[in-house]
Amino acid sequence: MKHKANILLVGFTYSLSIESLPGIHFSKCDSIERLTEMLISDDYNLVISKFNVGNKNAPEINQILESLKSYYADSTPKSFKLLILTSSESEDDICKSNKILYFPEEMNLKSLILKLIDLPREPKKSDKDLAIIDFKELFIRVDNNRAFIKEVMEKFFSIQESRISEIRIPLESGDFKKAKNSAHKLKGVLANFSMLEAKATIIELEQAIVSEDLKASLSKLNELIQKINEAKNYYHTNQDQFKIF
């Protein structure tokens, strides 16, 4: 079953024909600052932008987005594509020379959009397919420096309760923004440790926090605690994985 596509429209003050496409969620932003914030906090399949947004043009926008992808490559990878809608031949030429995907603004976008969001994707794993800790992925992340990652993971397990408190305390006081920020930081940690079950749970926790659903958030937080403890036990029972060969 395909997941619902998520498309971000940048710099448009009017509606585009593609916004009537079924099965796709569209979001909008009108500034580069807001664009960066939205890409950090959510996952998008496609970013469609005007050639100029504020004082930035297409190559500059592309550079900002590529830098963002690089920054999050090792924690919460961003896989969106950028599509620039051009309105002149000169804009087309600039996009061509910078190898940026573009499309004439006045043409029908629908067929192109459907092709872009229907590219083959890695199937989403179900909970039963997720590893408690994927040691193969973990050691690739740290260039097989097993002693280093063992030390870092030990440190995390020693302070895990404080990381949970950084989410629980603002949640219980109604500060959903602070709770979301803390959850987002912890998600990056769990991803770096290749704790796939815990990472899947904290993604669901973030969604509950964004919806400001306190009951669901606290329930998911308790589930997260369980998943982290399972990862801790799994870590301790698989110490042979950290032997240097």
Count of C-beta atoms within a 10 Å radius of residue 95:
21
Q: Are residue 132 and residue 224 in the same domain, yes or no?
A: yes
Residue 214 is predicted with a pLDDT of 93
Which CATH number does the domain housing residue 104 bear?
3.40.50.2300
- What is the per-residue DSSP string for 149-187? HHHHHHHHHHHHHHHHHHHHHHHHTT-HHHHHHHHHHHH
26, part of any domain: yes
Q: Are residue 101 and residue 143 in the same domain, yes or no?
A: no
Q: Are residue 86 and residue 131 in the same domain, yes or no?
A: no
**Cβ-proximal residues to 78 (8 Å cutoff; 6+ apart), any chain:** 39, 43, 68, 69, 72
Residues 126, 118: Cα–Cα separation, whole Å: 20
Residue 236 is predicted with a pLDDT of 94
Q: Are residue 135 and residue 231 in the same domain, yes or no?
A: yes
Q: For each successive 10 residues of the chain (245 residues), what is the average pLDDT?
A: 73 81 86 90 89 94 90 79 89 91 72 61 50 91 89 95 96 94 93 92 92 93 96 94 78
Domain residue limits at 182: 127-242
3-state secondary structure of 5: strand
Domain count, the chain: 2
122, part of any domain: no
Residue 175 is predicted with a pLDDT of 95
Task: Specify whether the CB–CB gap between 47 and 83 falls below 8 A.
Answer: yes
3-state secondary structure of 43: coil
Q: Are residue 92 and residue 144 in the same domain, yes or no?
A: no
Statement: the pTM of the whole predicted model exceeds 0.85: no
Domain end point (choices 117, 136, 161): 117
